[in-house]
Structure 1
Amino acid sequence: MPWIKEIFRKCLIPIILLFITAFNWVDEDFTQHIAAKLANYRRLFPQEKAYLHLDKPYYVTGDTLWFKSYLVEGALHMPDSASQMLYVDLIEQRTGRNVALRRVQLLGGIGNGEIVLADSIQQGAYTIRAYTNWMRNFSDEQFFQKDIYLFDPESVAPPVSSNKLDLKFFPEGGQMVAGINTRIAFKAVNESGLGQDVRGFVLNKANDTVASFKSAHLGMGRFQFEPQSGELYTAYLHGKNGKALRYDFPKMMESGFTMIVDNLSNAQKMRVLAYCKIPGKQESLVHIVGHSKGIVAFVAKGKITSKGLMMSLPTTELPDGITHLTLFNDENKPVCERLVFVNHNRSLQVKITPSKTAYKPREKASVEIAVLDSAGKPVETNLSVSVTDAGQILQQAYDENITSSLLLSSDLKGFIEQPAYYFDPEKSERKIHTDLLMMTQGWSRFRWEDVLADSLPGPQHFVEQGVTLEGEVRKGKKKLTDKIALSMYVSNDSLGTFMTAETNEAGRFAVYNLVFTDSLKIRLQGMNKKGNANLSFILDPFLTPKVTLVKAPFYPITVDAQQLQAYLKRAEQDQEIARKIRESRERLLQEVTIKGKKEVQRDSRKLYGSADASIKVTSQMASAGRSILDILAGRVAGVQVVGSGMNASVYIRGNRGEPLFVLDGMPVDKDMIASLNTFDVESIDVLKGASAAIFGSRGGNGVISILTKRGNENYDYSQDVVPGVLVTKIAGFNAPKEFYAPTYEVTRPQGTNPDYRATVFWAPMLRTDKQGKAKLEYYNSDATTTIDIRADVLSLSGTPGFGKAGYAVQ
């Protein structure tokens, strides 16, 4: 992929050189070894990240979920056009059932679409996922995933409440070694998957209290701890009823390495402290490798003595986001790991300015959006904007946005609660809490075992730029042993073309990068001269990635009861109005009588106007002839057929050579025509002399045009089964619908139908101009409420941004 070279040109070499000159004790051989391994892994397995901006956080049955999709490469977040198809599906959390699938066409890494939440979809918790075919080479934890809730307007399920808590401990660096003082991070999560504030203590095997702890943010915290050799430890939480709840504590190792990282004391540097306890060794040679999203940032070398090892490493040149630190022992094996978060506040500034602070119901609103970089200069960007009624929709506290997704959530395992909190400059303790998050969440992009392997298996899934048609050809029930040529006619409302393909020796075939919307009609058959009827075709179905059912938030939203009732009431009213309008239209249509002359549409397969002679193939003709050429013999004046079957030759009087053969508008060879199933042919047209001139010099000896039943766009072939021929439909890109926003002109009488849209306006495909500005206009609803405006922004260089604003309607 071209962006891989750009990444290494811009980032890899300058950063490595910076740290080679900064530290005299860098081992250049190890540096080159690690850099080469990471570069090779990235070359074979470059990363992609997907993000979806949704119009609102929760929905009702019968509603429409609108989304804008962004696809970027994994390191610098430049909009990625390598994969041009993004899959978006909706998973029911309770059962893992996939209830909707959309194929989104990406242009320059962006696209949009919608999912209609039909009444048949049950209320409850769902997860919306986004991924490319290439991303399926990795864990599904790297897919974009967001929890939403679907309500039924007529019944509201109360949230599930439980007192069960899950408590886990995480020794810093990954190990707890006897006699070495370290830090232990922890995280407490309730049954809904959300952080729970807790207090607790640790007892040794003599039941003495050796440590106490208290959470600081969303169930996370940390405390100092020095384990003693030969001891066993148990953790307890203070329960609500005064009863202590028992939990396992990490196992202690008698020997090993520990690593502590201070990324908070100094904004310019991070301090790394490493300790070890190795029997028979007074000191140990180690390397510390830092990389950001797979690109080497630095490699430092030192010795751990009885007093440990301290390194001070600059952070000013590190990119925004997560940097991964790994401690390698003297055998170059990874023994400790730690994540640190770097934020230089380089995200885009997004300023949203309504033309007024207050509007009237149904008044036209005008909103300007200005996007600036961190230096205050205007930026050309892609952006998506959602406008919602805050009286119905309660925006979730610090919900995911494009900045938190690309810089944080996409590089961590598991569910991240309130991800945007860690980017709020008004939260003075956010850096401390971000560091707690780094200690309690796992890394998901790759494993060192894979990177350092001598050989890597090739990827199983490829980059898609269109729809793929794959399958297998068999002869009867047996597999093929030789290659078979295939003919394929594909058509839909805007496309009709003849294609050829070939199987491999095992009978497998594939056609890549078909670009079409909705569906495509496929007619597939073998081109061998005999045994055609014995061939059978099996198309590979698209199998969505398996769903791992985990204890995800069953009720993943916070909704004010009054707002929820208002939303459900308005939604039910809107759906009832829509039903009445449909019923009214149906009644009106039953009373309408349309008179007029039916227009006969021209067959798109005929480049010519009218043929000199035409044969309508009947069932009797088809059963009497072994081939189409046999049917042609003796039926058209001036056309001579010499021989029969596959060996027949055709001549049109006055010409020395054989005519041009055309199948459903596409020139083909005579063998293809002779191998056609006679029952599949609709008609045969013969063009002589001037009539064939439209085909140029190729039609100099005349033209025989064969029109098949399945090539006719009006022919219903979906239930037709012909031996040796596969006729079916395949799904293509979903054509995105346009969000409907009513227009209320002052000069026109106002409609009688009430308007209480929850999503007042949705603009997924906006762009800022050279001045960094974009403008949108829409009409407010009937509600007297507060309007919430939210925008996700991504520059062409991969810098994200998020903005929000609001105004009153009164």
Structure 2
Amino acid sequence: MNLKLHRFSKFLYLVPLFLGFSSYAQNNVVIVDSLTKQLQRLPKNNVSESVYLQTSKGIYETEEDVWFKGYVLDAQHFYPSARSKTLFVQLIEDKTDQVVWEKKYEIENGFVDGHLFLKNELPEGIYTLSAYSAHSADGNAKEFYAAKKLEIQKTIKRKTTVAPIQKDSIVLFTTYPEGGKLVSGIESTLAFKAVNSKGLPVEVLGTLFENNVPLIPFKSSHAGMGGFDFTPDVNKKYHIQLNEPASDKMYDIATIEPSGKAIHLLGNTKEAVFFKIAQSDGLKEETIYLRLQMRGIVYGMATDLLKKELVIKIPLTDIPQGISEVTLFDQNAVPLAERLVYVNQDQKLAITTELDRSAYTVKEKVKLKIKVTDQNGQSIVAHLGLSVYDELYQNKQDSKNIKSHYLLSTQLKGNIYDPAYYFNEQNKDRKEALNLLMLTQGWRNYVWNEDNLKLQGNSFPIVFDEMEGKVRLKNPNDTVMKKIRNYSKGLMEAIRKTREIRKKGIFVISGDESNGKNFIMTDTTGRFTVGPKELKKGEGGNTYFQLITRKPVNDTPEPKYLINVMDVSFEEINKQRKDKTIFYPISKIVKPNEKVAAPSMDRITINKLKEVVITSKKKFRDKIIGKLDSLARLKDYVCRFNILNCSNHIGEFDNRKPREGQIYEGAGGIPYHYGDRTEAELLARINVAKLEGYYGKKVFYETVYDEVTITDTAPDYRNTLFWKPDIITNNQGEATIDFFCSDINSLFIGNIEGVSGNGLLGSDNFEFKVGKKVN
């Protein structure tokens, strides 16, 4: 077979392109330019951030803190994003779809250090922790990925049995032609996938028949997927029968085109990928174009004259790790065939960990050295999150990590079975399995496919970093305005303009007043903006907005105003999420010979104290509300005509304070009683608006044992020994961590994940034993 080898050569055009310059390519620069630009302008309408949540463990007990780290990364390049400033986080009970927690957290240079408390009254079950930023949550999207599944229990249970694998008949066996179609007379790969009614993979053994004669035996090689090469003939009939599991059903294969062009992957190495482009006999020679794009960025474009067959080599030097889409176009830029290829799997953040020992005694100090390099062994600065916890709290069926999330789950529509398998270097067949996933998932499920981007259209955010406040007249026709009308008509109009259009000043105050006051102004319509700066001021509590009023001038009183700040972020989230499908990895099937972790026999039983609720006479959350309560009490008055809070005598010298139990005019004959005012009543009375700030930060408790504290007889029941979401390696790519073991005698797991400034992703894990004696 004589194949023409067409090589890409480097060429700079908007983005780094590899453009093969033959005489044909030079004559078709316009088409090359069009195919590049038409794709690269589409992602501008798409969301620009992607969120991932790393938690301190996978299984929690009530009355524990869930520690989490939020990664807010650029959706195309995976480097930390500085666009969004606020992360909106919810915890949802899966069984009831009820939100049990929702708070706002500050995003600092693309990262969030967060926690939430699990109340004792929470039912046991599976919960979803989800997160939204202003540039990650798209109202038009039907899919949602920024989620982490957590299992919550009252008390950790002993698990000594393995749930049996349920037998299920195959409900779907599907074939996937490479490139999207089979062409008569052209060899290509026919991939297949078998799943049961629950979407779980089924391993199969079967045969391809040609005119009812066995032609090719085959079997699945990973997760119900497999494939084989063959040359179809449009004049013959084909079907597939499965021997295992045994079935009499005959499955048709994809339709065979009588003629056309096809694309076939010949090889995928560290240096390059090779494609064979072929067309049917009898078709005239034609200029073709081959485009390689990843996450909406065109990295390569080749063009040449196709006579019968040719081979194109695409160097991978300047292409990041991930799913790439290769599309074959005809001379009129019409797409003929497309294929997904996973490239540069070795291009990653390599994280290695080294413990000073493999086993420790209870309460002993652990020293951990971390080293981070790129795929070439060069030291690199990275932002890492590390958790060390009792293996009993590990959810072994959850195969989601930072690499599988960003490189697979968020790139393909649909739920992927056990995606972490493809990034575990212990799985020697992972590259072949990943190629089958690309074939059976189909390019139409690629999020960055051109057709998908067009269908999505202009996106609109669900939440915003900034909210709008509004100052308005309480009632333009109130008593104050009546007084204004007593002036001459011209003066009244001037005063009206002064009162209604003039910009207003507002004090911004934190809940405990420790941060002082900020000052903001409204526009001429009374509108003002509340952003991250104001939410930061109220961190751990509330931010208050106090309208600044002035004293009357020339007996012209100030009209009454109302100030309001509305945060409807979570209302919008709750409305939108009902229309979205959460794509989450399908749990790995636990095989009968795999034992689930059980508590150590000598594990100490923890008796939890009953919850103690402290109540007070005044249920005010912070000092500001208490102060407002005092001010409200002072603002009650009785005028000289014995009228309670008379609007005609505001601020007059002979007003007096009301007395408890006395009856005054205007009170409906009811004896005066100050009573307990709600927060809403106090805020309305004093004309102050309130907005909940960022949820407060909390430092993870680290026990330190020295010569004195090591003899402490109080038991240490910590099942999470260490949590640190903000480890930053030095210029040598190194970091050293120290922590202490607890009294729990068990196997402990360490999980570490992170990202570099240029978007390399990595993860690693380690384990060690803790016991009363070290063997």
TM category (shorter chain) comes to: 0.7 to 0.9
Q: Which residue of 1 aligns with 2:358?
A: 357
Structure 1 Cα separation of the partners of residues 563 and 381 of structure 2: 55
Q: Which residue of 1 aligns with 2:6?
A: none
Q: Which residue of 2 aligns with 1:428?
A: 428
- Once the 2 structures are TM-superposed, how far is the Cα of residue 515 of structure 1 from its aligned partner? 2.6
- Once the 2 structures are TM-superposed, how far is the Cα of residue 364 of structure 1 from its aligned partner? 1.9
Structure 2 Cα separation of the partners of residues 535 and 345 of structure 1: 57
Match for 1:772 among 728, 733, 740?
733
Match for 2:636 among 618, 632, 654?
618
Contact 2:15–2:298 under 8 Å retained in 1: no
- Once the 2 structures are TM-superposed, how far is the Cα of residue 238 of structure 1 from its aligned partner? 3.7
Judging changes above 3 Å, is the alpha-carbon distance between structure 1 residues 41 and 359 closer, same or farther for their aligned structure 2 residues?
same
- Once the 2 structures are TM-superposed, how far is the Cα of residue 460 of structure 1 from its aligned partner? 1.7
1:515 aligns with 2:535: yes
Q: How does 1:7-22 map to 2 (within 5 A)?
A: 13=14, 15-16=16-17, 18-20=18-20
Structure 2: 5+ residue runs without aligned partners?
Answer: 1-10, 476-499, 550-556, 616-622, 656-666, 668-673
Contact 2:137–2:463 under 8 Å retained in 1: no
Judging changes above 3 Å, is the alpha-carbon distance between structure 1 residues 24 and 381 closer, same or farther for their aligned structure 2 residues?
same
Q: Which residue of 2 aligns with 1:468?
A: 467
- Once the 2 structures are TM-superposed, how far is the Cα of residue 624 of structure 1 from its aligned partner? 6.5
Q: How does 1:549-568 map to 2 (within 5 A)?
A: 558=590, 564-566=597-599
- Once the 2 structures are TM-superposed, how far is the Cα of residue 441 of structure 1 from its aligned partner? 2.5
Q: Secondary structure at the match of 1:35?
A: helix
- Once the 2 structures are TM-superposed, how far is the Cα of residue 765 of structure 1 from its aligned partner? 1.6
Q: Which residue of 1 aligns with 2:177?
A: 171
Q: Which residue of 1 aligns with 2:343?
A: 342
Match for 1:631 among 636, 642, 650?
650
Letter matched to residue 493 of structure 1 = D
Q: Secondary structure at the match of 2:32?
A: helix
Structure 2 Cα separation of the partners of residues 144 and 289 of structure 1: 30
CA distances 1:340-377 after superposition (whole Å, capped 9, x unpaired): 12226332332222222321111122222222334444
Match for 1:493 among 493, 497, 512?
512
Q: Which residue of 2 aligns with 1:213?
A: 218
Structure 2 Cα separation of the partners of residues 557 and 116 of structure 1: 31
Q: Secondary structure at the match of 1:428?
A: coil
Q: How does 1:632-671 map to 2 (within 5 A)?
A: 632=651
Structure 2 Cα separation of the partners of residues 254 and 245 of structure 1: 27
Judging changes above 3 Å, is the alpha-carbon distance between structure 1 residues 117 and 12 closer, same or farther for their aligned structure 2 residues?
farther
Q: How does 1:727-742 map to 2 (within 5 A)?
A: 729-742=690-703
Match for 2:267 among 263, 276, 289?
263
Structure 1 Cα separation of the partners of residues 146 and 287 of structure 2: 40
Contact 2:320–2:347 under 8 Å retained in 1: no
- Once the 2 structures are TM-superposed, how far is the Cα of residue 293 of structure 1 from its aligned partner? 1.9
Q: Which residue of 1 aligns with 2:374?
A: 373
Q: Secondary structure at the match of 1:87?
A: strand
Q: Which residue of 2 aligns with 1:273?
A: 276
**TM-score between the two structures when normalised by the length of structure 1:** 0.71
Contact 1:168–1:188 under 8 Å retained in 2: yes
Structure 1: 5+ residue runs without aligned partners?
Answer: 1-9, 477-481, 591-600, 607-614, 637-678, 680-708
Q: Secondary structure at the match of 2:136?
A: helix
Contact 2:319–2:344 under 8 Å retained in 1: no
CA distances 1:155-207 after superposition (whole Å, capped 9, x unpaired): 88957835144433322112234554422222223455443322234557x75
Judging changes above 3 Å, is the alpha-carbon distance between structure 1 residues 231 and 262 closer, same or farther for their aligned structure 2 residues?
same
Letter matched to residue 144 of structure 1 = A
Q: Secondary structure at the match of 2:437?
A: helix
Q: Secondary structure at the match of 2:379?
A: coil
Judging changes above 3 Å, is the alpha-carbon distance between structure 1 residues 375 and 749 closer, same or farther for their aligned structure 2 residues?
closer
CA distances 1:241-289 after superposition (whole Å, capped 9, x unpaired): x44456564445556543222333x5433222234569x9534433111
Judging changes above 3 Å, is the alpha-carbon distance between structure 1 residues 104 and 335 closer, same or farther for their aligned structure 2 residues?
farther
Q: Secondary structure at the match of 1:32?
A: helix
Q: Which residue of 1 aligns with 2:577?
A: 546
What value does the CA root-mean-square deviation take over the aligned residues?
Answer: 4.8
Q: Which residue of 1 aligns with 2:228?
A: 223
Q: Secondary structure at the match of 1:260?
A: strand
Structure 1 Cα separation of the partners of residues 501 and 167 of structure 2: 62
Letter matched to residue 175 of structure 2 = F
Contact 1:11–1:295 under 8 Å retained in 2: no
Structure 2 Cα separation of the partners of residues 336 and 246 of structure 1: 27
Q: Which residue of 2 aligns with 1:88?
A: 89
Q: Which residue of 2 aligns with 1:198?
A: 204
- Once the 2 structures are TM-superposed, how far is the Cα of residue 807 of structure 1 from its aligned partner? 2.7
Identity of aligned residues (%): 24
Q: Secondary structure at the match of 2:638?
A: helix
Contact 2:184–2:258 under 8 Å retained in 1: yes
1:799 aligns with 2:760: yes
Structure 1 Cα separation of the partners of residues 167 and 469 of structure 2: 48
Contact 2:398–2:585 under 8 Å retained in 1: no
CA distances 1:510-541 after superposition (whole Å, capped 9, x unpaired): 644443324435569999x9997899997645
Structure 2 Cα separation of the partners of residues 334 and 309 of structure 1: 18
Structure 2 Cα separation of the partners of residues 554 and 795 of structure 1: 28
Contact 1:176–1:253 under 8 Å retained in 2: yes
**TM-score between the two structures when normalised by the length of structure 2:** 0.74
Structure 1 Cα separation of the partners of residues 625 and 247 of structure 2: 82
Structure 2 Cα separation of the partners of residues 75 and 537 of structure 1: 35
CA distances 1:653-711 after superposition (whole Å, capped 9, x unpaired): xxxxxxxxxxxxxxxxxxxxxxxxxx9xxxxxxxxxxxxxxxxxxxxxxxxxxxxx9xx
Letter matched to residue 81 of structure 1 = A
Structure 1 Cα separation of the partners of residues 385 and 78 of structure 2: 17
Structure 1 Cα separation of the partners of residues 452 and 594 of structure 2: 49
Contact 2:145–2:409 under 8 Å retained in 1: no
Contact 1:257–1:276 under 8 Å retained in 2: yes
Judging changes above 3 Å, is the alpha-carbon distance between structure 1 residues 209 and 519 closer, same or farther for their aligned structure 2 residues?
farther
